[in-house]
Amino acid sequence: MRKKTKNILLGIGSLVDIMPADGLNKAITRLHVRDDIASHFGRVGNELKDAFRKLENDVKTTTSKK
């Protein structure tokens, strides 16, 4: 394969993860990072649910006292 063609394929492959230029280890690391980010979003979602549940209970308590 010509060097220019190989460089183009490596560049395009890096963008779409077909043929990562940095090797398999970096691709595996990206999967772990994606999982870490997903777990962070999950925790934030759970915290928001709890906060809204508490707010809803506070509103119900406040309106029932009136």
23 in the Ramachandran plot: left (φ > 0), alpha (ψ -120 to 50) or beta? Answer: left
pLDDT value, residue 7: 78
Residues 11-42: tens digit of each pLDDT: 766 665 555 556 666 666 767 777 888 888 99
Q: In the prediction, which pLDDT does 47 show?
A: 93
User: Domain locations in the chain?
Assistant: 22-66
Q: Round to whole Å and give the CA distance between 1 and 54.
A: 63
Question: pTM (2 decimals)?
Answer: 0.47
What average pLDDT does the segment 47-64 reach? 88
Confidence at residue 46, expressed as pLDDT on a 0 to 100 scale: 92
